[in-house]
Amino acid sequence: MEGIYQVLLIYDIMCQWQAKFRTRFEKEPYLNLPDGMTVKHAIGDMHIHGHVRDCFPKYSLSFADGAGVVDGEILETNWAVLNEVSGTVRGASLATRSEVIDGHVNYLHFKKVIYLSIITFPSHSNNELTFSLQSPRSARSINGPKTF
């Protein structure tokens, strides 16, 4: 972790978990924090409002220096999509279930990368690549056949 001097940790119950953060690192022989690293603690926007009032100014991402605009809930935003898949793989073998869920998660990551490139570099967007931000079933490759 050379060159990294600040880390922002976001966790739903950071107000409680961070109390023993340093102790956890000291007890574990395979965990260490580099000297001089600053660790900032925060709670994601979806969860901060369910905490006591004192948590908001201390742990809200709105007040975390260097956080930019982030909600800290990237994993939970995928649950709705993955919940739809769960019914299809309920009776499947472990291998099939893993393959199907991995495929959907990979597609969600693909969508994120493509979408981020479009909003980051809008002048480079063109119509050569068509895709849908709605459903894997409607996703299309450059040549047009369905990918799922």
Residue where a domain terminates, one of 63, 84, 108: 63
Q: Which domain does 53 fall in, by range?
A: 6-63
Whether residues 59 and 84 share a domain: the answer is: no
Whole-prediction pTM: 0.53
Give the pLDDT of residue 78.
Answer: 78
Q: Give yes or no for a contact between 95 and 101, defined as CB atoms under 8 angstroms apart.
A: no
Domain assignment present for residue 57? The answer is yes
Give the pLDDT of residue 56.
Answer: 87
Q: pLDDT tens digits for 127-144? A: 444 444 444 444 444 443
